[in-house]
Structure 1
Amino acid sequence: MIQPIIDAHIHFDNYNEETRHTLINELDLYQVKSLISVSNDKKSAHANLQLSRSDQRIQPAIGFHPEQKLPDDQEVEQIIQLIHENMDHIVAIGEVGLPYYLRRKEPSLALGPYIKLLERFIKLAIKFNKPIILHAIYEDAPIVCDLLEKHSVTHAHFHWFKGSQATIERMIENKYYISVTPDCLYEEEIQSIIKKFPLEQMMVETDGPWPFERMFKNQVTHPKMIHESINKISEVKGLTRGEVYDQLLHNTKNFYDL
């Protein structure tokens, strides 16, 4: 039997209107209590704010996704203004971070300006006492850890995290959280991270509409997939499904003050 869940990281505004309507109508069926809907840019932030006002289960976060060309100064200021204006409505600053995949495509891309922008978002998270949702994997994760430590930030959520053993140990020590996607069913790398990371510092997500492979191939990414993720986490951790459900729900509600 399934139990209540929260999708800790989804780009709900990126689904088309018909699919959003379907997902919203099926949340209760699959016991999805909330969606933490992160923003990619200014337009995305406006969309998530509007969607959240139509359904209180959609919990918006405002940020700028790093896997794209940096915004101009005007857009940065507009995004920051949106955060100021909606600080009582948003649940977090995010998605923000560093452009790992973009740099693989464009090795000459300067990282410094992305670090500078991320540091501005970290300072906003501190100012408004909000969690920060991070896109920071592999060699980018230690850079982000440096910034978080510099500003004494612990309320940090590394979504779909992948990284070295040393970084994992550092993140555990700093009490940072990670979230696990449905690829945990078939990716040994993710299963290894699940085994190492404390359940008490873990959440579950879809990162929808990002598509998945194997048993999920050609399926629209849906929060219901999280139930399969929980089955795998239970198996890897050697815990009952009930224990995993309860802890993950507690973690996410507590982290995002839901």
Structure 2
Amino acid sequence: MFIDTHAHLTNDEYPDLQNVLDRAKKAQVSAIINPSFDYESSLSASCLSEDVDFVYGALGIHPHDADKLTDEIIAKFKKIAIENKKIVAIGETGLDYFKCKTLPDIQQKSFQKHMELALELDLPVIVHCREAHQDVINIMSDKKYEGIRCVFHCFAGAEALLTFAIEMGFYISYTGNITFKKAELLRESVKKTPLDKLMIETDCPYLAPVPFRGERNEPAFVHYVAKAVSELKGLSVEETAKITTQNAENFFRINI
């Protein structure tokens, strides 16, 4: 069994969602975490989690849309999470300084509000970090975020962030880009990541693994991420599946 810890199932690229979910089941995907990127997708994620037994939701505003986060939305997220027990995380949130039009200070305020909500609800936070690792480290080092549970999703390979995550006991999640030809830095990160803090994801519809690179990604392809991790860690795919599934169950507090 596999758990895809990051799949954007409410994306417009899935008009055939039922077929996608059926293929995931056939590929032994036992659970999917469906994070959000704006308010509308958060509502959709909550609804989908209630409709599909093996799909769980997360609520959040992506850094690209951080300027759209309001106190009213935070209050609505809180209400949804309290009422829907299949909301298992806050996110995705974080910082993205790569060609992002939203100013860093606005992103940082949004990130902080997401983490405050996660702590209040006792939920983990799904963190997106792109070319912003030092600011992420600085913000998350604040004592007021002590005790927060965090996963750095679609980990990009920054050595300082990996070291910080390991020191803090945070989780690292890898996606299909570890199969790419020029992803040596990422593969080195996989080798350095403690097995008990490692998770796998597709980040679909993006980053389809080899041999599907360039195509639409989907949860059924998480097996290829597990295979790549297995080769780097000297494990069987079955061992990787068992370990990463247990890690995801522990992190999101779900029972599969």
Give the structure-2-normalised TM-score. 0.89
Of 104, 113, 118, 2:106 maps to 113
CA distance in 2, matches of 1:215, 1:132: 31
1:56 aligns with: 53
1:13 aligns with: 10
CA distance in 1, matches of 2:17, 2:46: 15
CA distance in 2, matches of 1:168, 1:29: 33
CA distance in 2, matches of 1:213, 1:130: 29
2:119 aligns with: 126
Unmatched segments (≥5 aa) in structure 1: none
Deviates more, 1:218-227 or 1:38-47: 218-227
CA distance in 1, matches of 2:117, 2:69: 18
| Aligned residues of 2:69 and 2:110 also touching (Cα < 8 A) | no
Counterpart code for 1:146: N
Matched, 1:161 2:158: no
1:252 aligns with: 248
Displacement, 1:79?
Answer: 4.3
CA distance in 1, matches of 2:48, 2:136: 30
2:230 aligns with: 234
Superposed, 1:10-89 pairs within 5 Å as 10-16=7-13, 18-68=15-65, 70-71=67-68, 73=70, 76-87=71-82, 88-89=84-85
Displacement, 1:213?
Answer: 6.4
Superposed, 1:90-101 pairs within 5 Å as 90-101=87-98
CA distance in 2, matches of 1:69, 1:118: 8
| Aligned residues of 2:61 and 2:69 also touching (Cα < 8 A) | no
| Aligned residues of 2:171 and 2:198 also touching (Cα < 8 A) | yes
| Aligned residues of 1:13 and 1:44 also touching (Cα < 8 A) | yes
Deviates more, 1:76-85 or 1:27-36: 76-85
Q: How large is the RMSD of aligned CA atoms in angstroms?
A: 1.9
Matched, 1:144 2:122: no
Displacement, 1:19?
Answer: 2.2
Displacement, 1:219?
Answer: 2.9
Displacement, 1:48?
Answer: 1.0
1:84-110 superposed Cα distances (whole Å, 9 cap, x missing partner): 33234210000111122234xx5xx53
Matched, 1:196 2:192: yes
The verdict on how the C-alpha distance between 1:25 and 1:92 changes in structure 2, with shifts beyond 3 A counting, is same
1:222 aligns with: 218
Displacement, 1:50?
Answer: 1.3
1:96-137 superposed Cα distances (whole Å, 9 cap, x missing partner): 11122234xx5xx53112111111111111111000000013
1:168-218 superposed Cα distances (whole Å, 9 cap, x missing partner): 112101111111111111222221110111121110001111143652134
| Aligned residues of 1:10 and 1:38 also touching (Cα < 8 A) | yes
CA distance in 2, matches of 1:17, 1:196: 35
CA distance in 1, matches of 2:179, 2:14: 29
CA distance in 2, matches of 1:196, 1:257: 25
Give the structure-1-normalised TM-score. 0.89
Deviates more, 1:146-155 or 1:179-188: 146-155
| Aligned residues of 1:64 and 1:95 also touching (Cα < 8 A) | yes
2:169 aligns with: 175
Unmatched segments (≥5 aa) in structure 2: none
Displacement, 1:80?
Answer: 3.4
Q: State the number of aligned residues.
A: 248
Helix, strand or coil: the match of 1:219?
coil
Identity %: 27
CA distance in 2, matches of 1:217, 1:167: 26
Counterpart code for 1:216: F
Displacement, 1:242?
Answer: 2.4
Counterpart code for 2:253: D
